[in-house]
A and B are shown apart, each in its own frame.
Chain A
Amino acid sequence: MDESTSHTVGTKTFVATWIALLCFTGLTIVAARMQLGQWSMIANIAIASAKASLVLWFFMHLKYERRLFKFLLFVPILTISVIIGLTFFDLWYR
């Protein structure tokens, strides 16, 4: 299969992604000011992850890549999550 050229993403898609990212940035600043206490960090991480997903999916072209790439991305994400999670079994119960 000759995949020496790939799907070209339109300028509109990129600009729309950029606008969405700016909106999420505004949202996260507003959320931070809302004094959510415990939930503040969770909300911020969730919004950051949404932004990261947009960058991955559109700017980094992941939407248009083959399934293997999408699947492989979970490997480091799972690895670092498990590492941080297991470490907290120590930190929280000392």
Chain B
Amino acid sequence: MIPDFQRVEVSDTTEVADSTYVLSFPEPESAAGLEPGQFCMISPELHPSDVFLPRPFSYYRVVDSQTIQILFRTYGRATRWMASLVPGNRIGVFGPLGNTFTIAPHARRAVLVAGGIGLPPLVLLAERLAALDDPPEIDLLYGEHTGDRIIDIKASLPAGVHLHLCTEDGAVGLKGLVTDLFRPIIAECNSPPAVYTCGPNAMMAALAGLLAPDSVAVFEASTEENMACGKGICKSCVIPMVTQDGTVRYRYCCTDGPVFNGFEVKWPHS
């Protein structure tokens, strides 16, 4: 699908957990063709007062094939601006951009590991996997620092997706890290599972450390880096990758990714 730049009216902004919002806007043209892992660039009007560049966000959900939802957490001024949007406000949306996850046809189990605001692309992926003719068993592991940040997605997940929660403060689910949820689930897999992840680099690096390439059908990580254009022009969003000869080469998060083979990414401090 060819990405398009459109100005759309926000239909809703709802706070769904501490500092965490769902932004909804209509985009019937691209909604039907979106793939999990793909993203869009959200921008204010051309001459804003304090937010200047667009920001990349993974697609979270598509409602009734008409409305696109983005899940975001306030961090800097752009996300604070987004949190202030009310129905009728206009935003620029450029997308769909980037690649998608690989569906491993022979994997009978899919383990999706989300850390914090890395959740959105994995929710969309869980929906797509559950809708397959012969769906694998799907486990969605989701961790947050604190209980007040947990987004209540249980009721809206498709039947058959097993949700496992953890928090570092122990307020919701297991007290600990997603890797603590991950270890026993991987240990009980009878055949190589498909593992997908999105979250902090340290978390994704830890998962890479727990897996061997021959023990999984695929291990894919959705990455993020500062970017301006989303289309391979600004050359900003490089992700270091380890090549077969051991050298490090940069690939672009926006056009080569954002989803990469998690074993090939040169994780920080790895």
Genuine A/B complex: no
Q: Name B residues whose Cβ lies closer than 8 Å to a Cβ of A.
A: none
Q: Name A residues whose Cβ lies closer than 8 Å to a Cβ of B.
A: none
